[in-house]
Structure 1
């Protein structure tokens, strides 16, 4: 019987704290595990990731001593350790699902680049000293890659623009969201509550969301819960400055169950971002029947279509109007929820898995 090709999956960034990129890795490989791929998989896991429940991964997991939380140790691992491990295990293909990838491999590499924010919006990155090294690593990884996968047409255009990657070896594979069996109906959302979640990086634009909330009349103003911070929350001074302490709750990092509970009770998800590679939170909300108010960006239009209530992310009055709408016009919520559910059904993790597998096979065939 011929040996099945072995794919080394670089999971050195997977620590349980990285949000959407980890959702992508987990759901992609969970879906691949349900398929007859004709491939075998082995993962190189970070020190933190190896301590997590990785039973969803369809193959062996190698526990490394590399910390995915230490940026410089992680960077070294991405550039060197993953390719060394792939050679040692005689892998025929390397997949790097979290943007950074080896600078050189003896076998083809497929890298999933989720966004080009360090190139398109360097002024919004929180660690300027890290920006140039990341840009260099992305450039080197792309130069070594046989194929690049990305989440959106907007990100694809930017990869070609900034990295000079050939369009013919670039594949746009949109992300997806799980679909609950019975999402709550809008009528079952009695609280005047808006939920938002995400890391506190500047491009997420949370400060404008809080300042816009202060413009909404007090007698109709919704309560706002923002999750996602770790450690001291940089939004706390903004909440204090605007006097929004009674209306804004900063919950920090929450688990999936707590986030699902918040979404089940909220009237809408707010997503005021200035830039994204995809915008997974709005798709996840739509799949749960939760209306979405979000920044009117081309990349988010790719995801949300006409199902969201769009606002100008730089205009406080525009954001406030969207908050006011979901707080005072409950009659529009059922239509928004229904449109969101229909939009979310256009995306599935099975499709992501099938299209990704096709890229793997193309890369393997051209060895």
Structure 2
């Protein structure tokens, strides 16, 4: 009888998982709950840090190992990725390392797939101080990507940026689009977000994301300030930690009565906000995918986005676009979008467009890449 084929041992680098890093963590959670069914002959183990271990155990389909000296800061995360992941993989006989959050080990060793969501550190340069702070991260991303056996990325636009800025050959990049979650409407959305005290007689503008410079929330606030007070919507900008850095700009522009900064919201609150929103706005100067644009369209919320290729790739003809670098131009686009809301047929078309981006499809594409790399390295003499 032939010897049984050993299980594929896949180590997932979740050292950067803290529960507060937005899109990359959504990506990891959504795929990891689906991958075991697609890879029934594989076993999964996670390597995470002290802060994220309990959160990871809540969804991970295998053993979770924590490095206690990796905390929630970028420095210890980077040191863990460079010094810890490959060592752990070798000691535990991993067949493959998958790093789903932009970077992992930086030297060749155990076969490795890294998901690089974007090349934003190179596309949006920021101030001198920001460039200095981001230089180490950019270097690690570049080194991790160029030494990986395969890079997965989440859009054609991101693939172009990775080739251009990180120097990864096209034949080593696989594009697997992100997915979006099915709507889970709340029975009483206003009650769900009662803590936000949303006014009943003003349009609601929703935007979400972390406070990284490329998100351009400063530009969105400047645009809102350009709108006359009697036509100004109430903007809910979810995301950010306690002591939101946008607060100072809100105060400086005199938008205290026009902008709500709720911090990170629960899944139920976010669903309720989509239900009560009259417009979703994405002012980002760069994105790897633009998941909130898809999520909003799936919930039949009109979308206005900054006019860049990646947001046109995911938004298609179902979204509106304008130049978010110009406060006056973007303000006019916001007003126009609120005044000329799409009809029911247009909202349904937008939802149908967005529904093509599913986590099931993303998991299938990812599983295919992981399997290919394991098989190719096993067959290499």
Specify which of 346, 356, 359 is matched with residue 366 of structure 2: 356
Query: Is 1:70 matched with 2:97?
Result: no
Alpha-carbon distance in structure 2 between the residues aligned to 1:155 and 1:120: 10
CA drift of 1:70 comes to 1.9
Specify which of 315, 319, 324 is matched with residue 313 of structure 1: 324
CA drift of 1:150 comes to 0.5
Query: Is 1:116 matched with 2:119?
Result: yes
Alpha-carbon distance in structure 2 between the residues aligned to 1:114 and 1:274: 15
CA drift of 1:168 comes to 0.8
Query: Is 1:169 matched with 2:169?
Result: no
Alpha-carbon distance in structure 1 between the residues aligned to 2:363 and 2:228: 46
CA drift of 1:183 comes to 9.0
Query: Is 1:342 matched with 2:352?
Result: yes
Q: Give CA-to-partner distance per residue, 1:73-129, whole Å, 9 cap, x none.
A: 111101120111111110000000001110224321000001111122222697433
Which has the higher mean CA deviation after the structures are superposed, 64-73 or 196-205? 64-73
Alpha-carbon distance in structure 1 between the residues aligned to 2:117 and 2:71: 18
Q: How many residues align?
A: 362
Which has the higher mean CA deviation after the structures are superposed, 175-184 or 336-345? 175-184
Partner of residue 327, structure 1: 338
Calculate the TM-score normalised by the size of structure 2. Answer: 0.89
Partner of residue 209, structure 1: 220
Alignment of structure 1 residues 1-367 onto 2, 5 Å: 1-52=4-55, 54-123=57-126, 127-180=130-183, 192-330=203-341, 332=342, 334-367=344-377
Alpha-carbon distance in structure 2 between the residues aligned to 1:306 and 1:352: 22
Change (3 A) 1:113 1:68: farther
Contact 2:178 2:358 in 1 (8 A): yes
Alpha-carbon distance in structure 1 between the residues aligned to 2:225 and 2:343: 22
Q: Give CA-to-partner distance per residue, 1:251-281, whole Å, 9 cap, x none.
A: 2222222222211111111111111111111
Partner of residue 193, structure 2: none
Which has the higher mean CA deviation after the structures are superposed, 291-300 or 66-75? 66-75
Change (3 A) 1:53 1:135: closer
Change (3 A) 1:105 1:42: farther
CA drift of 1:234 comes to 2.3
Q: RMSD across aligned C-alpha pairs, in angstroms? A: 2.1
Partner of residue 196, structure 2: none
Alpha-carbon distance in structure 2 between the residues aligned to 1:33 and 1:55: 15
Partner of residue 190, structure 2: none
CA drift of 1:311 comes to 1.0
Contact 1:222 1:323 in 2 (8 A): no
What secondary structure does 1:48 align onto? coil
Alpha-carbon distance in structure 1 between the residues aligned to 2:325 and 2:70: 37
What secondary structure does 2:25 align onto? helix
- 5+ long unaligned stretches in structure 1: none
Q: Give CA-to-partner distance per residue, 1:219-242, whole Å, 9 cap, x none.
A: 332111111121322222222222
Contact 1:33 1:57 in 2 (8 A): no
What secondary structure does 1:293 align onto? strand
What secondary structure does 2:318 align onto? coil
